[in-house]
Chains A and B, each alone.
Chain A
Amino acid sequence: MRFEAPETIEAAVALLAGEKGIARPLSGGTDLLVQMRSGRVEPDLIVDIKRIASTRTITREGGGYRIGAAVSGEELGEHPTLPQDWPGIVEAAHLVGSTQVAGRATLAGNLCNASPAADTVPAMVAAGATVRVVGPDGTRDVKASAIPVGVGKNSLEPGEFVESIFLPERAAGSSDAYLRFIPRTEMDIAVVGVGVSVTRDPDGTVTDARVALGAVAPTVVRVEDAEDAITGTKLDDDALAKLAAACEAACSPIDDKRGTVAFRTEVAGVLAKRAIQTAYERAAQ
């Protein structure tokens, strides 16, 4: 295996695209090194992208945030304004593993690793995040939801990697939230995860909403029926019940030791209600 740590995007792309064997970009390494240790992947080349300046920074772009692919969850939480503007993204990133893991693990890695239970992915989909992919054919921006395409599979072509994640400008009266269920209070993998983003007008009516579920299907599920159920309402009980029902209907989970199909389905509805109420309250502030 070779290890390279180039300082430019162009050099990293050339290395990844030029490798005939298995090539992997490395940022936080919290999935890659575990997979290497277990023998699940045996790369011929690792390209550490952390020496590329643009992967290490959070910059304002328009009213939004461009988050470099190697920015860790802990760094998101330490940013002076990001936690106020996107609390759901930050809380999801902090739920990924321990303090030690969140000190390395990145949004980009969580997305590309394509685990159905990835905590930050429903949060990013709810946020309407876009992803800047660089590769031998140039640069393209795609929706976050377009990256994971199956369990452990992403849509990147050979030689491509994610340079940054973009969170768009917030309309007034907007916020987000992420909630997950695990059988203990810390250090476990989501049984269900729910990311929501909401915008309300000054009288409290929901004018825009996005709802995304994790761990209830092979990839993240955006639930437009749930969004429609609450848009134009003030989150009355009837609207919340319809939101929960729409989330339940969108689930196609597996049975495993962490939860049954019936349990995951019910919890998806319950968490969606709680998450949207949290985001709605945050949006009023």
Chain B
Amino acid sequence: MSALHISASINGDPTEFLCEPDETLLDVLRDRLNLTGTKEGCGTGDCGACSVTVDGRLVCACLVLGAEAQGRNIETIEGLAGDELHPLQKKFLEHAALQCGICTPGFLVAAKSLLEKNNNPTEEEVRYWLAGNLCRCTGYDKIIRAVMETAEDMRRGNHAT
């Protein structure tokens, strides 16, 4: 196999990398670019731990080839916080919406994607949107509450980013 030379934007930064044709975007992010915030859970698109956005679309990085990223805009958990934590990150801390934390980056990226599309989701909409993000610690309730409250704050306009 010969490595492919790929250019993409990652969290707004022009990025170049080499990858094998069968290498996933998840492996590229973690092993080549040291962006290890994106986690590998199942590797088969079932757990959502590797959630990222590609051109604004929420996907599992384990189900995307690195080569597909050519010319695309990739956003990962590392792009979430600015100088301050993102409002979702603050709410997750406030609600203790995490325990071991391995699912948290995926939940945050997925929840941000929902709130960008719909800043007034019902609890049912939040639960369905996040159904592909698995957490084996919290039982989900705190996560759902944190997302609902962030949405409420965003609607009121009292958030930093």
Which residues of A are at the interface with B, using a C-beta cutoff of 8 A? 1-3, 5, 26, 28-30, 33-34, 36-38, 46, 48, 50, 72, 74, 97-101, 103-104, 185-187
The reply to whether B132 and A34 contact each other, CB–CB distance below 8 Å, is no
The reply to whether A99 and B64 contact each other, CB–CB distance below 8 Å, is no
The reply to whether A187 and B21 contact each other, CB–CB distance below 8 Å, is no
Q: If the complex has contacts A3-B65, A29-B65, A187-B132, are A100 and B59 also in contact, measured as CB distance less than 8 A? A: yes
Which residues of B are at the interface with A, using a C-beta cutoff of 8 A? 1, 4, 20-22, 24, 43-46, 48, 51, 57-60, 62-65, 67-68, 70, 110, 113-114, 128-133
State the Cβ distance, B64 to closest chain A Cβ, in Å. Answer: 7
5 smallest CB-CB distances across A and B, nearest first, come from A98-B132, A3-B21, A186-B131, A3-B67, A100-B60
Some 26 contacts from A to B, beta carbons below 8 A apart, are A1-B21, A1-B22, A3-B21, A3-B65, A26-B68, A28-B63, A29-B64, A33-B62, A37-B43, A37-B44, A46-B22, A48-B67, A98-B48, A98-B60, A98-B133, A99-B58, A99-B110, A99-B129, A100-B51, A101-B132, A103-B57, A103-B59, A104-B59, A104-B63, A185-B131, A186-B128
The interface residues of chain A lying within 8 Å CB-to-CB of B114 are: 99
The interface residues of chain B lying within 8 Å CB-to-CB of A26 are: 65, 68
- Cα distance, A221 to B32, chains bound together (Å): 47
Interface on chain A toward B: helix, strand, loop, or mixed SS? mixed
The interface residues of chain A lying within 8 Å CB-to-CB of B131 are: 98-99, 185-187
The reply to whether B45 and A50 contact each other, CB–CB distance below 8 Å, is no
The interface residues of chain A lying within 8 Å CB-to-CB of B64 are: 29, 33, 104
The interface residues of chain A lying within 8 Å CB-to-CB of B1 are: 1
The interface residues of chain A lying within 8 Å CB-to-CB of B46 are: 98, 187
In the complex, which of the residues A37, A72, A99 has the most CB atoms of chain B within 10 Å of its own CB atom? A99
The interface residues of chain A lying within 8 Å CB-to-CB of B24 are: 33
The interface residues of chain A lying within 8 Å CB-to-CB of B62 are: 33
- Cα distance, A70 to B62, chains bound together (Å): 18
- Cα distance, A118 to B145, chains bound together (Å): 33
Closest to B109 in A: A100
